């Protein structure tokens, strides 16, 4: 008589999947709304900048063609962005015959030249949307308790160094097919993410405050005074805009390096953690 063998016990470790809530719905909505809002604020802001550049260099002479006669002539500019356009049209293949080299930058990265009135109206429309969206974001942080994950911690400097080392070595390790383990992080964000995200509400507050100092300088003279005058307020506004732009690149890199789960959590609001027993 045949005796049935008992099934052998598996030697593989058991795994369990844990779903972890991460982002309140208001945080997710405001996060994605910021993309078109900041894009429009940037392109309209650059068209406003064209009408009165904040920073200027010594006059640069460049060759041009008189549109009425078709004869070559020379002109000058003191605008850094116009100079970028002149350089592009001079050195980049396919751009040598661009009709107006000083306008190249503005025609590619703003509403274009001569659009000051339209740019001002749209800029303030999206500025109000930006402020309303900021309120939604802060409200979502409070309701979901997400603000706690953004607060600085004593361990941040050491963890930030570990994360910098990880990100620097990640690509070489992948190319060499060598293991490169992610530093152990028990918090919602690592130190680099926490510092970057914590700075965003501060930058948002400063760019709104400097914008109001420019828009309502007579009514809000005290606010303009905090920025040490109209021209300095414009400098603050200009550089904070570039801070937002500069934030995007490392933000995308950090999300990509952390993996799909980090991206998904900002869409659906939860993350998956797999543990092995």
Residue 199 lies in a domain: yes
> What CATH number is given to the structural domain containing 131?
1.20.950.20
3-state secondary structure of 61: strand
| Domain assignment present for 213 | yes
Residue 271 resides in a domain: yes
| The model's pTM | 0.81
Helix 116-144 to helix 25-51 angle, to the nearest 10 degrees?
160
Tens digits of residue pLDDT in 46-79: 999 999 999 999 999 888 776 667 677 788 999 9
What range does the domain containing 47 cover? 15-52+115-276
pLDDT digit string, tens, across residues 106-149: 999 999 999 999 999 999 999 999 999 999 999 999 999 888 88
**For 26-30, 31-35, 51-55, 249-253, which range has the lowest pLDDT when averaged over its residues?**
249-253
Q: What is the pLDDT of residue 226?
A: 94
Report residue 29's pLDDT band, with 50, 70 and 90 as the boundaries: very high
Q: Euclidean distance between the first and final Cα of the chain, in Å?
A: 39
Residue 37 DSSP SS3: helix
Residue 266 placed within a domain = yes
Structure tokens at 238: 């200009």
Give the model's pLDDT for residue 88: 95
Q: What does the pLDDT read at residue 64?
A: 78
User: Is the pLDDT confidence value at 80 over 90?
Assistant: yes
Number of domains in the chain: 1
Answer yes or no: is 98 within a domain. Answer: no
Q: If you average pLDDT over residues 203-212, what whole number do you get?
A: 95
Residue pLDDT, tens place only, 140-190? 999 998 888 888 889 889 998 998 898 889 889 988 999 988 888 888 788
**If we measure between CA atoms, which residue out of 240, 254, 174 comes closest to residue 206?**
240
Residue 75 placed within a domain: no
In this structure, is residue 99 part of a structural domain? no
């Amino acid at each position: 008589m045949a005796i049935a063998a008992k099934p052998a016990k598996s030697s593989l470790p058991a795994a369990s999947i844990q779903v972890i809530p991460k982002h309140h719905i208001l945080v997710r909505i405001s996060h994605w709304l910021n993309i078109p809002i900041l894009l429009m604020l940037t392109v309209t802001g650059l068209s406003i900048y064209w009408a009165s550049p904040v920073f200027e260099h010594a006059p640069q002479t460049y060759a041009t063609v008189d549109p009425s006669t078709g004869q070559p002539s020379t002109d000058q500019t003191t605008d850094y962005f116009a100079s970028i356009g002149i350089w592009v049209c001079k050195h980049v293949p396919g751009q040598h015959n661009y009709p107006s080299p000083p306008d190249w930058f503005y025609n590619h990265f703003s509403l274009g030249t001569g659009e000051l009135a339209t740019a001002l109206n749209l800029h303030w429309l999206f500025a109000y949307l930006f402020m309303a969206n900021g309120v939604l974001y802060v409200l979502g942080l409070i309701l979901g308790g997400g603000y706690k994950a953004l607060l600085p911690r004593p361990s941040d400097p050491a963890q930030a160094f570990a994360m910098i080392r990880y990100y620097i070595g990640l690509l070489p390790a992948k190319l060499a097919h060598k293991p490169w383990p992610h530093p152990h992080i028990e918090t919602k964000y690592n130190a680099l993410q926490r510092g970057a995200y914590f700075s965003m509400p501060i930058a948002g507050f400063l760019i709104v405050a400097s914008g109001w100092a420019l828009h309502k300088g007579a009514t809000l003279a005290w606010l303009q005074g905090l920025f040490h005058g109209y021209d300095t307020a414009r400098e603050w506004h200009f550089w904070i805009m570039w801070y937002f732009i500069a934030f995007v690149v490392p933000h995308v890199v950090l999300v990509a390096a952390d993996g799909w789960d980090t991206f998904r959590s900002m869409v659906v609001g939860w993350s998956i953690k797999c543990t092995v027993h």
